């Protein structure tokens, strides 16, 4: 059994979700190869070769793979896939975009967002916004799977010494082109990888009030998230959204401020180790999942919390 992991990378570095995906691959067992596709990704490939447990790194360095357009990347993965028993990608926006296209071309069903490996062909994944956990068995010759990063502890980024091999094949379907990108700027830790997440909801009342959360987050070294209500109200950009339709996080500590706790939001954070809720409505559903609840006005409690931590 040999497993191909499609690396997620950004700004010339391996993204943390790749390490969780390699961990899932290690649980399945067998040799783990990593595919790094993109343009100018030599440094990424070298970093990928150092990941613990990786046997080989395949590098597809070509302008056609810049920006990870699925029309071009999927045929590359399909071409390589015949040598593998499993093809894994992290359930990031890139992984979710490309992998189903690969699965359909291989004529197999995909298993999305696994949270555990039961055996080489059986996996667990959440359905119905995390309100049920399905155990799914695949009879496909090549199993195509996306991995929910928070379901697996990351492997070490250092310690491996894999061989690097260039993949010549260039696929340019000519059906799509990259126009532009608008990335939100942030100095704080990446939301899905942060140890502590502080999130605000509709109770924040406006975008300006998020400064209270930023101050608290900076003191804790935390990332700042938001509920869909806060995003829809225009308080913060939508890449901060935690929930079924946003990002899935599972930090050590999740502090929910002014968030009622709708099912949609809980699906994105209820696997956090410790959940703290600060809300003035003591009936808010968030208190049913919170380890520590504080019924208080957030505009008093958050600045006080910032002073005390």
Partner 1 sequence: MKVLVAVKRVVDYNVKVRVKADNSGVDLANVKMSMNPFCEIAVEEAVRLKEKGVATEIVVVTIGPSTAQEQLRTALALGADRAILVEAADELNSLAVAKLLKAVVDKEQPQLVILGKQAIDSDNNQTGQMLAALTGFGQGTFASKVDVAGDKVSVTREIDGGLQTVSLNLPAIVTTDLRLNEPRYASLPNIMKAKKKPLETVTPDALGVSVASTNKTVKVEAPAARSAGIKVKSVAELVEKLKNEAKVI
Min. distance of Cβ 302 from partner 1 in angstroms?
Answer: 9
In the complex with partner 1, the residue whose CB is nearer, 164 or 245, is 245
Residue 45 Cβ vs partner 1, minimum distance, rounded to whole Å: 21
Instruction: Give burial (CB, 10 Å; 0-12/13-18/19+) of 193.
Output: middle
122/205 with CB nearer partner 1: 122
Q: For residues 49 and 69, which CB has a smaller minimum distance to partner 1 in the complex? A: 69
Q: Least separation, in Å, of the C-beta of 269 and partner 1? A: 11
Residue pair 25/3 in contact (Cβ under 8 Å)? The answer is yes
> What is the smallest separation between the CB atom of 74 and partner 1, expressed in angstroms?
7
Beta-bridged to residue 59, according to DSSP, are: 36, 166
List Cα–Cα distances, 30 to 26, 81, 195, in angstroms.
Answer: 7, 15, 30
Q: Do 145 and 260 meet the contact criterion of CB atoms below 8 Å apart?
A: no
Report the alpha-carbon distance of residue 125 to residue 2 in Å, rounded. 22
Among candidate residues 5, 30, 33, the one with its CA nearest the CA of residue 17 = 5
> Distance (Å, rounded) from C-alpha 198 to C-alpha 188?
11
Residue 137 or 166: which CB sits closer to partner 1?
Answer: 137
* Comparison of 160 and 258: residue with beta carbon closer to partner 1: 258
Nearest approach in angstroms of CB 187 to partner 1 is 14
Interatomic CA distance for residues 226 and 105, integer angstroms = 37
- Contact between 259 and 246 under an 8 Å Cβ cutoff? The reply is no
Smallest gap, in angstroms, from Cβ of residue 4 to partner 1?
18
The answer to whether 257 touches 281, Cβ cutoff 8 Å, is: no
Q: Is the CB of 26 or the CB of 149 nearer to partner 1?
A: 149
Residues 6+ positions from 6 with CB-CB distance below 8 Å: 21, 34, 35, 37, 77, 87, 88, 89, 90, 95, 98, 99
Instruction: Yes or no: say if 196 and 305 are a contact pair by the CB < 8 Å rule.
Output: no
Question: Which residue's CB is nearer to partner 1, number 33 or number 247?
Answer: 247
Eight-class DSSP state of 218: H
Q: Smallest distance from the beta carbon of 137 to partner 1, in angstroms?
A: 5
206: Cβ contacts below 8 Å, ≥ 6 apart = 235
- Residue among 230 and 253 whose Cβ is closer to partner 1: 253
């Amino acid at each position: 059994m040999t497993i191909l992991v499609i690396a997620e990378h950004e700004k010339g570095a391996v993204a943390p979700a790749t390490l969780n995906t390699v961990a899932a691959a290690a649980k399945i067992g067998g040799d783990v190869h990593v595919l790094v596709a993109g343009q100018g990704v030599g440094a990424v490939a070298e970093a990928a070769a150092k990941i613990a447990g990786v046997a080989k790194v395949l590098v597809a360095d070509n302008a056609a793979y810049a920006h990870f357009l699925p029309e071009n990347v999927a045929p590359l993965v399909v071409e390589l896939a015949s040598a593998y028993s499993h093809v894994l990608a992290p359930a990031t926006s890139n992984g979710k975009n490309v992998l189903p296209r690969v699965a359909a071309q291989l004529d197999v069903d995909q298993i999305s967002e696994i949270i555990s490996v039961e055996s080489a062909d059986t996996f667990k994944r959440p359905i119905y916004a995390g309100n049920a956990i399905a155990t799914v068995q695949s009879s496909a010759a090549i199993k195509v799977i996306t991995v929910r990063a928070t379901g697996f502890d990351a492997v070490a980024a250092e310690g491996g010494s894999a061989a690097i091999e260039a993949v010549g094949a260039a696929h340019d379907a000519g059906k799509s082109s990259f126009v532009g990108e608008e990335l939100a700027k942030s100095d704080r830790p990446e939301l899905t990888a942060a140890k502590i997440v502080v999130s605000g909801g509709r109770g924040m009342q406006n975008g300006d009030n998020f400064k209270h959360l930023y101050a608290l987050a900076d003191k804790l070294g935390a990332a700042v998230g938001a509920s869909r209500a806060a995003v829809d109200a225009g308080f913060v950009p939508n890449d901060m959204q935690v929930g079924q339709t946003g990002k899935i996080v599972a930090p050590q500590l999740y502090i929910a401020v002014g968030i009622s706790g709708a099912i949609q939001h809980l699906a994105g954070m209820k696997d956090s180790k410790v959940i703290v809720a600060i809300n003035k409505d003591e009936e808010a559903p968030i208190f049913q999942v919170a380890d520590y609840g504080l019924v208080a006005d957030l505009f008093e409690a958050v600045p006080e919390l910032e002073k005390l931590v």
